[in-house]
């Protein structure tokens, strides 16, 4: 994989501008940067959320995300990728995930970012628990997330 692919799983927050600057620093071949930041909402379907707790299997999660980043690098002409996913307790308004893709052209950057987010949402090895007024519940997979990820499967 290219040296300009960074994947981190961490409990601490991240600075979106700093991550984009690190990805593009000294690069004159980049014509497009697309970023997606997932943020913890304060409610879901009218139910208040006090916090999310995200867990992962260390080593396995990084390896799986790396595998999908490699797929994106081979499928689109990308100059770099940054993926940061938080774990631990995250409260409403806090960042959860960052995906940044860089390319010579915007279409590749947009499509790769969307591909990576669809994978992270539907298939990445994370477990999410919602802490709300009614207690704590683990979040099940959702059909619309699976459908979004399935559209990237080559026939």
3-state secondary structure 90-145: ECCCCEEEEEEEEECCHHHHHHHHHHHHHHHHHCCCEEEEEEECCEEEECCCCHHH
Q: pLDDT for 32-57, tens place per residue?
A: 999 999 999 998 877 889 999 999 98
**Rounded distance, CA 37 to CA 20, Å?**
12
Domain ranges of the chain: 5-150
- Which tens digit of pLDDT belongs to each residue from 108-153? 999 999 999 998 887 788 999 988 877 777 677 666 555 655 676 7
pLDDT on residue 155? 43
> Residue 118 region, left (φ>0) first, then alpha (ψ -120 to 50), else beta?
alpha
pLDDT > 90? residue 73 = yes
Are 148 and 121 contacting, i.e. CB atoms less than 8 angstroms apart? yes
CATH of span 5-150: 3.90.1170.40
């Amino acid at each position: 994989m290219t040296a300009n692919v960074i994947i981190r799983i961490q409990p601490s927050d991240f600075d979106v501008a700093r991550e984009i600057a690190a990805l593009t620093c000294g690069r004159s071949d980049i014509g497009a940067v697309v970023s997606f930041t997932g943020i913890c909402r304060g409610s879901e379907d009218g139910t208040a959320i006090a916090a999310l707790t995200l867990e992962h299997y260390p080593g396995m999660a990084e390896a799986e995300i790396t595998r999908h980043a490699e797929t994106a690098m081979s499928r689109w002409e990308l100059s770099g990728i940054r993926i940061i996913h938080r774990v631990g307790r995250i409260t409403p308004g806090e960042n959860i995930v960052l995906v940044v893709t860089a390319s010579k052209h915007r279409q590749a950057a947009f499509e790769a970012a969307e591909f990576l987010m669809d994978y992270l949402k539907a298939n990445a090895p994370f477990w999410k628990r919602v802490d709300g007024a009614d207690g704590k519940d683990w979040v099940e997979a959702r059909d619309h997330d699976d459908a979004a990820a399935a559209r990237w499967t080559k026939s």
